[in-house]
Structure 1
């Protein structure tokens, strides 16, 4: 099976903790606060260029981590990933315990393909955050980052490293696509018990994949475990999925 058929949700799952609350004068220089709040309004309206301009003007008055953060959010939404990366790094320099900035920086790095750096920033959030909702979201981010690292290793032909990353992925979250990739890898290496378990988990936690993949690899596992009846049942289920139809039908012909 072509691993390109296993798709991973990219940055859509990365949560930015955007705060657009007004800032009172006593918390920030009044002129900077006025520009900051104006930037927040533009950000909410989707006018990212204008928001960035307001934040930059505010930063000329006061170097405040909140202004850097909102500027980074605007740059990210405008697709200016490198600029957003630099801005979030400046935010962290001013407030090194701000979990939202590490999460946002991790998301930008993920989108840029800097997966190991993304993982480091997401893991930093888990170290410093006291918010369970934030931690749970970041665990999902980590699962997807490790899953992507795993697929990269698959493309490079390093199955053992791929399994290591994919196993790390499911330690953080029950990510269906990671389970499916593990099912395929275990099947290819002849570990059919583990392939069957991974396939069942992929089906149990299915949210982003079709049913065909788990059914197909369950069929392969049962076939090599000598349970022809169960193998046929799984392949018949798998062939209902257009993506796995031909391969499932081929396996069924071999079991006639």
Structure 2
């Protein structure tokens, strides 16, 4: 089962740092160009923004300008150049959390999910803002869920379980719980499968009900609780994605 991902992984990715004070730390000419670039960025004129940011950086290599330039580059699809700009922002100010989050988003878009998770983790370690921390932990969960999905595709369920458990340790991601339920079921760990399916249902926001109920049914069947298994399969068959599987199980239990 492939995990479906929304664009939620970039919840913080496009923060524009215009609220950062520049009066005392940026040279006047660089600050003027920085603000001009931000105006273009807000208007969606990304190439113009990049050109102005480049001029500002020739005057002063400021972490905020590198960051905004990275945002503009990302919006033009130039991921490698955006990555380099965010890395320059971090080099100029190693404790600038927004740049780590943006870099994590770039790595995610590139399919480099471990690097994405590592950069998102740096944000969590740095920030004291509870709301920001929770949002970035969701980003970490998405990255580890992707790694788990890849491990499944490569025929490595043990590694997949490790990744998926890291995903749900960071955030109660329903699709990751559902993938855990499936893997545990396929590897004969029915108590673990049942618990994961229950959590998938408990925290359900992106998946249908069919999957959790189907794997709960399989777990109950394997544990010898046929009556409960039938109840679960009866609910699962209402979901078009699990209708055929659930009906097959119900037929087999007659």
TM-score where L is the length of structure 2: 0.95
Q: 1:37 to 1:22 in 2, by over 3 A?
A: farther
User: Which residue, out of 1, 9, 12, partners 1:15?
Assistant: 12
CA distance 1:123–1:153, change in 2 (3 Å): same
**In structure 2, C-alpha distance between the alignment counterparts of 1:178 and 1:18, rounded to whole Å:** 30
Question: Separation in 1 of the partners of 2:74 and 2:144?
Answer: 22
In 1, are the aligned partners of 2:181 and 2:215 still within 8 Å (CA)? yes
Query: Alpha-carbon deviation of 1:24?
Result: 4.9
CA contact (8 A) 2:9 2:138 kept: no
Corresponding residue for residue 69 of structure 2:
71
Runs of 5+ consecutive residues of structure 1 not aligned to the other structure: none
Q: How many residues align?
A: 253
* Worse overlay, 160-169 or 52-61: 52-61
Higher mean C-alpha displacement, 81-90 vs 135-144: 135-144
Aligned partner (choices 92, 97, 100) of residue 99 of structure 1:
97
Structure 2 equivalent of residue 138 of structure 1: 136
Which residue of 2 is the match for residue 233 of structure 1? Answer: 231
* Residue of structure 2 equivalent to 1:203: 201
Q: For 1:61-97, what per-residue CA distance to the aligned partner results, in whole angstroms no more than 9, with x for missing partners? A: 1110000011111111222111110000000110001
Question: Match for residue 190 of structure 1?
Answer: 188
Return 127-136 or 183-192, whichever deviates more. Answer: 127-136
Q: Deviations over 1:202-227 (max 9, x none)?
A: 00001111111101111111111111
Moved more, 120-129 or 35-44: 120-129
Aligned equivalents of 2:96 and 2:207: distance in 1?
A: 34
Deviates more, 1:133-142 or 1:81-90: 133-142
**TM, length-normalised to structure 1:** 0.94
The more displaced of 128-137 and 206-215 is 128-137
Residues 111/233 of structure 1: CA separation in 2 closer, same or farther (3 Å cut): same
Structure 1: distance between partners of 2:130 and 2:88: 26
Q: For 1:226-252, what per-residue CA distance to the aligned partner results, in whole angstroms no more than 9, with x for missing partners?
A: 111211111111111111111111111
For residue 14 of structure 1, report the CA deviation from its aligned partner.
3.8
